[in-house]
Amino acid sequence: MKLTGAQAIIKALEIESVEIIFGYPGAAICPFYDALFDSKLKHVLTRNEQGAAHAASGYARVTGKTGVCVATSGPGATNLITGIATAYMDSIPMVAITGQVSSELIGRDVFQEADITGATAPFCKHNYLVKNAKDLPRIIKEAFHIASTGRPGPVVIDIPIDVQTKEFNFEYPETVDIKGYKPTYKGHIMQIKKIAEAIEKAKAPVICAGGGIVNANASEELIELVEKCQIPVTTTLMGIGSLPSKHEMNLGMLGSHGVFAANYAIHNADLVIIMGARVGDRAMGAANKIAEKAKIVHIDIDPAEIGKNIGATIPVVGDVKLILKELLTLVNKGNVDKWVDTITTVKSEHPLKYTEEGNYEFVKPQFVITTLSEMLDEKDVVATEVGQNQIWTANYFNVRTSRSFVTSGGMGTMGYGLPSGVGAKFGRPEAKVVVIGGDGSFQMSLQELGTIKQNKLGVKIIILNNSRLGMVREIQKVRYCGRYSQVFLEENPDFVKLVEAYGFKGEHVKNNSEVRGALSRMLADDEPYLLECLVDPDEPTL
């Protein structure tokens, strides 16, 4: 079959069962878009290339499939960079396709030329600059394989315009054989036996569940282990949803913005079992001190993560789902009743709570999020921006199922929530998708309201408006003696009028008594809706 390079890309995407692409056209990617015209692939035109990358990420997060985004050369490609880095830090499978100037012009600083493969090399799983159209089928096959296997991540394919127009005989490979890339899935049985022995001997074990549990679809196995062995669980930000928030053994999120019981358990355990987590500084800042007191089990599919931030007594490389299945056949409950009683007491004595003392002229964000939890079904999706809104949601929203909580973890990308919510709605059209953001982060991607309108998406938006860059303000209060510098957003637009300009409904909420009725109106149908909640600028994150 004789095809142009552009037609070959489309054909390859169809073979890879891609259902949807998020992108933004430009001159260097026009051959691709011309070929797309005759395809049945769904394309979503975002309002910014960064929005395309975040939407592809949100789609991947809720479906488990590989997200796809497309941009042109130069500024189009560089606008993808933040989305690519965000996906890399959070291990999200993504293929980013970029146009490039003609092959013979590369390196001459011609119009809209940027070295996107060089720029993204440090924060993508792999990238390609395609030099021969005949290589396209192999490269695309490899890209999807690399993005979705082992530790998932983004892969960039940069394609010069002349490669897109070159004709060749198209043959798509059936298999992939990449030298040096052979992810380990099955954990070493002797190491798994050591984990079982450690659990049975431990008096105070705790599990730290990371995003790897979600990526591996290993929630059922985790729950079975927890209930069989009565091991308390803390989660990282990315691990939220791996165990239902209200499960009796779930202590909540650990770390600098986590809850007391989770951090208590980690610092007082004699066995810490880390599953699919990087042990980042926000999650486990005193990693060395924890390792001095406790035996550390670290399970991860990426061997580079084991030992990087914390020394592991029992390292196990492999797919956490397969390892847990094997472990469940070997392990028995240890003598942990006293420890569970202690943790239960600590949890009850230090519950997550917020006070309504003081100024009642505002809405309590914790109350909004708790009430929203009660009104959504377990498979509905919540996506967050980054900042105080993210932490309030992480700590107070009742996440009941895996892949229903979408947020930017490792990169902490403001502007992620709205476009990721767009992608999530395309991935799960039957679910209600609610984006929770602050007034600062929402304004970083509010142009994607146009994407919502054009595609008639019933994305719901809650803005917790404190007219501040709240998280930065808190840092300046605590670390810089309250010398507040450039954190005031007191000239915000009227967000309700803004969405009305797009033809959406919205309303302002000024106190808690108005919250439930407003949420009911917001959730009554599958139309876009914005709820602006006036929040006290001094409301603390914790």
The percent of residues above 90 in pLDDT, for the chain, comes to 93
Half-sphere CA count of 162, side-chain side, radius 13 A: 8
Identify the band that residue 283 occupies on the pLDDT scale cut at 50, 70 and 90.
Answer: confident
pLDDT confidence of residue 147: 98
pLDDT in tens, 64-123: 999 999 999 999 999 999 999 999 999 999 999 999 999 999 999 999 999 999 999 999
- Which of the four pLDDT bands, split at 50, 70 and 90, describes residue 358? low
Give ∠ CA 460-466-471 in degrees, rounded to 5.
Answer: 95
How many other CB atoms are there within 10 angstroms of residue 422's CB atom? 31
What is the token pair recorded at 68? 């796809």
Residue 539 binned pLDDT confidence (cut-offs 50, 70, 90): very high
Do the bridges between strand 67-71 and strand 167-169 make them parallel or antiparallel, or are there none, so unpaired?
A: unpaired
Where do the DSSP E strands lie in 24-162?
42-45, 67-71, 94-100, 126-129, 154-160
Q: Please give the average per-residue pLDDT across 316-337, as a whole number.
A: 97
Whole-model pTM? 0.96
Give residue-wise pLDDT tens across range 483-517: 999 999 989 999 999 999 999 999 999 999 999 99
Report residue 355's pLDDT band, with 50, 70 and 90 as the boundaries: confident
Please tell me the predicted confidence (pLDDT) of residue 542.
87
User: Would you state the pLDDT for residue 42?
Assistant: 98
| pLDDT beyond 60 at 359 | no
Q: Identify the DSSP state of 427.
A: H
Q: Which domains does the chain have, with CATH numbers?
A: 2-169 (3.40.50.970), 189-349 (3.40.50.1220), 365-534 (3.40.50.970)
So what's the pLDDT on residue 219? 97
List, for residues 132-173, the tens digit of each pLDDT value.
Answer: 999 999 999 999 999 999 999 999 999 999 999 999 999 999
Question: What's the Cα-to-Cα distance from 485 to each of 96, 387, 444, 489, rounded to whole Å?
Answer: 37, 17, 19, 11
> How many residues are there in the chain?
542
Q: Which band of pLDDT confidence, cut at 50, 70 and 90, is reported for residue 188?
A: very high
The distance in angstroms from the start CA to the end CA of the chain is 61
Would you say residue 45 has pLDDT above 70? yes
Taking CA atoms, 513 is separated from 352, 364, 510, 531, 533, in Å, by 21, 10, 9, 14, 12
pLDDT of residue 281: 77
pLDDT at 357: 59
pLDDT at 230 over 90: yes
Q: What is the pLDDT at residue 208?
A: 96
Instruction: Identify the residue whose tokens are 């994407």.
Output: 451
Which residues are CB-neighbours of 421 under 8 A, at least 6 positions away?
58, 381, 383, 406, 433, 434, 435, 459, 461
Decide if pLDDT at 284 tops 80: no
Distance of CA 444 to the CA centre of its chain: 17
Q: What integer best gives the mean pLDDT of the chain?
A: 96
- Quote the pLDDT of residue 105: 97
Q: What is the pLDDT of residue 181?
A: 95
Query: Would you state the pLDDT for residue 28?
Result: 98
CA distance linking residue 136 with residue 128, whole number of Å? 10
